[in-house]
């Protein structure tokens, strides 16, 4: 495993602000000059100066009257884009529990290298994130790492076993931004319905990933022609659509706000589209790799293409692209799952599923913009604006005076190829090694502090 990056020590001192510096005492002051500020949520698209202080954006254009002038940090950013920091709504950082794969320190450093300022972490950690103590531990580890902000999703059921409800209201009060049972099923649909009723009562955001355990048992690839030819256990589309239909039926009865973090098929998109048309409070996301790869990418038995939900057909991929372009799919996530090398050395069905995706999330989405699949505005909407709204991060996800200074600086003319050996993540398990990209993150600010600067 790669060494943890140098600790910035943002929160060693308990007196300090919980996510950075002490306002007015030791916060950074920055002026970023001449960048093209691009944020559709603020109707902002112009070249201008932006001023950061006390962790916030304090002015755009003219310097404020009390600006400290020569003591502030300066950066000339002409020719670059400045966008809101990306909010990745589903990323596993492997800590606590699987530190031999990665840690919060290594993965939050990889996140800011990819322009991600906020990571949303599902509850399938060890121990399970079903108590406020675990949530506080994760937050503390993220503060000590001093890179991206990490926010937690609490468990819906104790130990994610689907048998007893967790203390969801307490997790909400403890700072969790949503609740979820990750990919673990409920053994009793009555309990699932009770959980949704409870969530609706307390207005909790729920994330559920529909996957039927009996239909998906031992499946490792899309149940189609490629899996049949290779002799791989298939995972049918119905493993996604059958539980999704059940979920929609219960949303209709309970009124719970539910987000499906990753859909993989055209059939699932149709169900989401119909539910939205009926006015149900459901939203959906997709992982960035599902927008580019198909079952054909499993043809070479590359273990880095082993993901759950599996890579499906080209028709499914094109439907997901259409859904994203039209806004039916709300968000794009990395579904980041770093692995140690041994986890990917076995035969394809026996390897552990997952992609190290933090550093390719933004480049893959901007590549869709480059190829006119989606607009730039839709890209930022899916990566920052809607995730901020979904998780109640009202002060993030946009560039405006008073907002958190979470920003990413992009060189739009950089041409680069992904070298998996040079990734900041502790896991280099990516199927995109050698892919060419046209946009590159040059710097990232989190809460007004520059936490990443590309040095080449």
Q: Is the dihedral of CA 402, 408, 411, 412 positive or negative?
A: negative
DSSP H helices, 119-203, are 132-145, 168-173, 189-201
Q: Is 242 exposed, middle or buried (0-12, 13-18, 19+ CB in 10 A)?
A: middle
State yes or no: is 419 an active-site residue. no
**Distance (Å, whole) CA 251 – CA 258:** 7
Instruction: Annotate 139-148 with b (16+ C-beta within 10 A) or e (fewer).
Output: bebbbbbbbb
CA distance between the termini of the chain: 23
Query: Catalytic: which of 335, 381, 406, 411?
Result: 335
Q: 401, 58 in Cβ contact below 8 A?
A: yes
DSSP string of 59-116, one letter each residue: EESSPPTT--GGGSEEEE-TT-EEEEPEEESSB---TTT-TTT--HHHHHHHHHHTTE
Q: Going by C-beta distance under 8 Å and a sequence separation of 6 or more, which residues neighbour residue 9?
A: 144, 146
Find, among 425, 370, 407, the residue nearest to 117 by Cα: 407
Helix (H) or strand (E) holding 152: strand 149-155
Q: How many residues does the chain have?
A: 456
According to DSSP, the β-strands at 440-446 and 407-411 are antiparallel
**Distance (Å, whole) CA 292 – CA 95:** 29
Q: 247, 259 in Cβ contact below 8 A?
A: no
Kindly compute the dihedral angle of the four CA atoms of residues 235, 418, 324, 405, in this order, to the nearest 10 degrees.
130
**Distance (Å, whole) CA 281 – CA 258:** 7
Q: 40, 388 in Cβ contact below 8 A?
A: no
Q: 168, 204 in Cβ contact below 8 A?
A: yes
Catalytic residues: 335
């Amino acid at each position: 495993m790669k060494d943890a990056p140098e600790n910035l020590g943002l929160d060693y001192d308990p007196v300090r602000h919980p996510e950075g510096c002490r306002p007015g005492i030791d916060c950074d002051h920055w002026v970023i000059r001449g960048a093209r500020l691009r944020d559709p949520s603020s109707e902002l698209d112009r070249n201008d100066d932006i001023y950061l202080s006390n962790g916030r954006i304090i002015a755009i254009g003219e310097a404020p009257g009390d600006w400290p002038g020569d003591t502030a940090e300066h950066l000339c950013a002409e020719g670059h884009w400045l966008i809101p920091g990306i909010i990745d709504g589903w990323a596993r950082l492997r800590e606590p529990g699987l530190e031999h794969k990665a840690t919060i320190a290594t993965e939050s450093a990889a996140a800011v290298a990819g322009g991600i300022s906020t990571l949303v972490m599902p509850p399938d950690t060890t121990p399970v994130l079903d108590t406020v103590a675990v949530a506080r531990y994760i937050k503390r580890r993220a503060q000590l790492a001093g890179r991206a902000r990490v926010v937690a999703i609490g468990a819906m059921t104790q130990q994610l076993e689907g048998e007893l409800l967790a203390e969801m209201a307490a997790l909400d009060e403890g700072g969790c931004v949503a609740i979820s049972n990750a990919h673990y099923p409920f053994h009793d649909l009555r309990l699932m319905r009770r959980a949704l009723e409870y969530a609706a009562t307390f207005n909790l955001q729920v994330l559920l990933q529909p996957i039927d355990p009996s239909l998906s048992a031992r499946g490792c690839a899309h149940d189609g022609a490629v899996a049949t030819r290779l002799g791989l256990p298939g995972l049918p589309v119905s493993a996604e659509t059958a539980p999704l239909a059940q979920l929609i039926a219960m949303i209709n009865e309970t009124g719970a706000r539910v987000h499906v973090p990753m859909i993989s098929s055209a059939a699932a998109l149709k169900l989401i589209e119909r539910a939205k048309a009926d006015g149900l409070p459901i939203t959906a996301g997709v992982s960035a790799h599902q927008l580019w790869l198909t079952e054909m990418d499993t043809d070479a038995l590359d273990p880095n293409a082993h993901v759950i939900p599996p890579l499906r057909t080209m028709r499914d991929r094109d439907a997901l692209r259409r859904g994203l372009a039209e806004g039916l799919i709300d968000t794009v996530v990395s579904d980041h799952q770093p692995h140690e090398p041994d986890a990917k050395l076995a035969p394809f069905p026996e390897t552990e599923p997952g992609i190290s995706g933090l550093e390719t999330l933004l480049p893959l989405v901007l590549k869709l913009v480059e190829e006119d699949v989606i607009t730039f505005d839709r890209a930022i909407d899916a990566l920052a604006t809607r995730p901020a709204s979904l998780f109640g991060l009202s002060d993030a996800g946009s560039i405006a005076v008073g907002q958190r200074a979470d920003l990413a600086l992009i060189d739009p003319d950089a041409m680069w190829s992904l070298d998996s050996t040079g990734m900041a993540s502790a896991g280099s398990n990516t199927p995109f090694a050698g892919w060419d990209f046209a946009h590159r993150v040059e710097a990232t600010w989190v809460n007004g502090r520059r936490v990443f600067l590309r040095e080449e």
